[in-house]
Chain A
Amino acid sequence: MSNIPENLRYTKDHEWIKVDGDVASIGITDYAQHSLGDVVYVDLPRVGDTFGTHEAFGSVESVKAVSEIFTPVAGEVVDVNESLNDSPDKVNSDPYGDSWFVKIKMANAGEADAMLSGEEYEEYLSANA
């Protein structure tokens, strides 16, 4: 079973976000890292880049596959997790903790409320995965 913390919000593309005021940290879920396999490379945007809702902001690559990562919320990148450049495997070992990809200052904080709760994401996974 996938690990799905209750305090985060989720997308059907298997991203999670953690909201702190008007800033959202974004990563990929335990289910996503497990599907990808050993992560060897992440391609991250730059601080100051802006993205619209559901726009791809980067990619995560395993030995076998590459997957784009989409932001569920529109806004401006205020921080990127440079530590993933040296240790992309953290995405596998700790997908929710230190493995956020970017922090985005949300243009519309209400967007996060429309995302799936942990319970809803779990239901989505059991129905579709």
Chain B
Amino acid sequence: MPADNLKKTPLNAAHRELGGKMVDFGGWDMPVQYTAGVIEEHMATRTRAGLFDVSHMGEIWVEGEDAISFVNRLTTNDVTKLVDGQAHYSALTNDKGGVVDDLLVYRFDVDKLLLVVNAGTTDKDWDWITSRTQDEKITLTNASADYCQIAIQGPKAVGILKTLTETNLDEIKYYHFTMGYVDGVESILSRTGYTGEDGFEIYADEKHARQLWDKLLEKGDYGKDNGILPCGLAARNTLRLESAMSLYGHELADDITPLEANLGWITKLQKGDFVGREALVKKKESGIPRLVVGFEMTQPGIARDNCDVYINDRLVGYVTSGSPAPFLKKNIGLAFLPTEFANEGQEIKIDVRGKHLSAKVVPTPFYKRKK
């Protein structure tokens, strides 16, 4: 049974009934995997469909006539470029240009934005955001406890969701969203995800979480051959790693800038002033000293998070995320390297419990789905 101090999503009982192996994930009682195991869950998502409870993520509403300018001042991406019904990936930065959190920004209207932030950082983000208000006309609401979030991902995901909604899902482009009904439940239908597959993230009133979860499993033929599988945090991690997506606390942190984490594409230094911009401009002008690179092992062995990286017997960096890649059937990872060595084909050694194992820098993403 969970310790009483762990937070639970509205799907906690469902996870237990499905045989979820529950762990403490940043203060949340979450399934790391179900009975099928991480490899089956990962493969189901790549080849069919996977269902993920991500209700632990945080939702913060920013409403009012200054909503766009306020969020634009706190984040790296250009919020003025969003249109109604569009979302983008972005970063909240501190004054030194380090990343307070990475997030999705949804534009519902010119005066209504939704920020979706990481579970473990929701309280920190809320404190940060509320402390940085000036005289803007905005209302901030931490609605994290009111929402469930369920992600359905994989080549069959959209087809399964179609059986439960009258919304024309084909009209919703990647990183766009709409309000709709899923099995009669009012939901935000967002064509986004953290797996590298097509699919949707569905936000709804947490009271309806169980109904949505059970219906999606049923319509996805859970329990039959080639059916959908519920996926735990372990598969969520291996799927995002194959797609080379950043994970806060690994590739991103308060003392890591988005430029170092290869997130220059969401760092719009030309958009006007924002928190941390000055530090980021300086960093860019003086040269970015280190970069996150992808690597794969070239000899047997698995590099894990925080393993040291060597070049010519010199300690030069560390592994931010390392794991077997179930679909690619390789051992891969992301690591910090000095910029001068961050080149495809660069040979590196990784200290795996005292043994220096060979690996090489490879292009990312490791996995890209065929469209």
Chain B associates with chain A: yes
Interface of A with B (CB < 8 Å)? 37-38, 40-41, 43, 59, 61-64, 66, 85, 92
With A and B bound together, what is the CA distance between A92 and B324 in angstroms?
Answer: 17
Closest Cβ of chain B: how far from A87's Cβ, in Å?
Answer: 13
Write 19 A-B pairs (CB below 8 A) sorted by A numbering: A37-B21, A37-B33, A37-B38, A37-B234, A38-B37, A38-B39, A41-B301, A41-B302, A41-B324, A43-B300, A43-B301, A61-B324, A63-B38, A63-B234, A63-B323, A63-B324, A63-B326, A64-B32, A66-B304
Contact A64/B302 with A37-B37, A38-B38, A59-B353 known, Cβ cut-off 8 Å: no
- Residues in B whose Cβ lies below 8 Å from that of A92: 37
Mark out the residues of chain B between 2 and 37 whose CB falls within 8 Å of any chain A CB in the assembled complex.
21, 32-33, 37
Mark out the residues of chain B between 326 and 345 whose CB falls within 8 Å of any chain A CB in the assembled complex.
326, 331
Q: Is A63 in contact with B301, judged by CB distance below 8 angstroms?
A: no
Cβ of B72 within 8 Å of any chain A Cβ, yes or no, is no
Cβ of B238 within 8 Å of any chain A Cβ, yes or no, is yes
Q: Is B301 in contact with A64, judged by CB distance below 8 angstroms?
A: no
Contact with A40, one of B21, B32, B324 (Cβ below 8 angstroms)? B324
With A and B bound together, what is the CA distance between A59 and B302 in angstroms?
Answer: 11
Can you add 4 more A-B contacts, CB < 8 Å, to A62-B38, A63-B234? A38-B39, A40-B39, A61-B324, A64-B38
Mark out the residues of chain B between 285 and 302 whose CB falls within 8 Å of any chain A CB in the assembled complex.
300-302
0/1 string, B32-63, CB within 8 A of A gives 1: 11000111000000000000000000000000
Closest Cβ of chain B: how far from A92's Cβ, in Å?
Answer: 8
With A and B bound together, what is the CA distance between A37 and B23 in angstroms?
Answer: 13
With A and B bound together, what is the CA distance between A61 and B37 in angstroms?
Answer: 14
Interface extent on B, as a size class?
A: 10 to 19
List the A residue with the shortest CB-CB distance to B323.
Answer: A63
List the A residue with the shortest CB-CB distance to B326.
Answer: A63
With A and B bound together, what is the CA distance between A43 and B353 in angstroms?
Answer: 12
Closest Cβ of chain A: how far from B369's Cβ, in Å?
Answer: 21
- Residues in A whose Cβ lies below 8 Å from that of B37: 37-38, 92
- Residues in B whose Cβ lies below 8 Å from that of A43: 300-301
Q: Is A63 in contact with B353, judged by CB distance below 8 angstroms?
A: no
List the B residue with the shortest CB-CB distance to A56.
Answer: B353
With A and B bound together, what is the CA distance between A31 and B304 in angstroms?
Answer: 24
Q: Is B234 in contact with A40, judged by CB distance below 8 angstroms?
A: no
**Which 6 residue pairs are nearest across A and B when measured between Cβ atoms?**
A38-B39, A63-B38, A40-B324, A38-B37, A64-B234, A61-B302
- Residues in B whose Cβ lies below 8 Å from that of A41: 300-302, 324, 331
- Residues in A whose Cβ lies below 8 Å from that of B38: 37-38, 62-64
Most A-side CB within 10 Å, residue of B39, B301, B326: B39
With A and B bound together, what is the CA distance between A41 and B303 in angstroms?
Answer: 12
List the A residue with the shortest CB-CB distance to B234.
Answer: A64
With A and B bound together, what is the CA distance between A61 and B300 in angstroms?
Answer: 12
With A and B bound together, what is the CA distance between A59 and B304 in angstroms?
Answer: 14
With A and B bound together, what is the CA distance between A64 and B301 in angstroms?
Answer: 14
Closest Cβ of chain A: how far from B157's Cβ, in Å?
Answer: 22
Closest Cβ of chain B: how far from A29's Cβ, in Å?
Answer: 17
With A and B bound together, what is the CA distance between A40 and B33 in angstroms?
Answer: 16
List the B residue with the shortest CB-CB distance to A68.
Answer: B353
Closest Cβ of chain B: how far from A79's Cβ, in Å?
Answer: 20
With A and B bound together, what is the CA distance between A27 and B324 in angstroms?
Answer: 22
With A and B bound together, what is the CA distance between A61 and B301 in angstroms?
Answer: 9
Q: Is B33 in contact with A66, judged by CB distance below 8 angstroms?
A: no
Q: Is A63 in contact with B304, judged by CB distance below 8 angstroms?
A: no
- Residues in B whose Cβ lies below 8 Å from that of A37: 21, 33, 37-38, 234
With A and B bound together, what is the CA distance between A62 and B238 in angstroms?
Answer: 12
With A and B bound together, what is the CA distance between A66 and B79 in angstroms?
Answer: 43
- Residues in A whose Cβ lies below 8 Å from that of B238: 63
- Residues in A whose Cβ lies below 8 Å from that of B302: 40-41, 61, 66
Closest Cβ of chain B: how far from A70's Cβ, in Å?
Answer: 14
Closest Cβ of chain A: how far from B356's Cβ, in Å?
Answer: 14
Closest Cβ of chain A: how far from B344's Cβ, in Å?
Answer: 25
Closest Cβ of chain B: how far from A54's Cβ, in Å?
Answer: 18
List the B residue with the shortest CB-CB distance to A42.
Answer: B300
- Residues in B whose Cβ lies below 8 Å from that of A38: 37-39
- Residues in A whose Cβ lies below 8 Å from that of B324: 40-41, 61, 63
- Residues in B whose Cβ lies below 8 Å from that of A61: 302, 324
With A and B bound together, what is the CA distance between A40 and B304 in angstroms?
Answer: 14
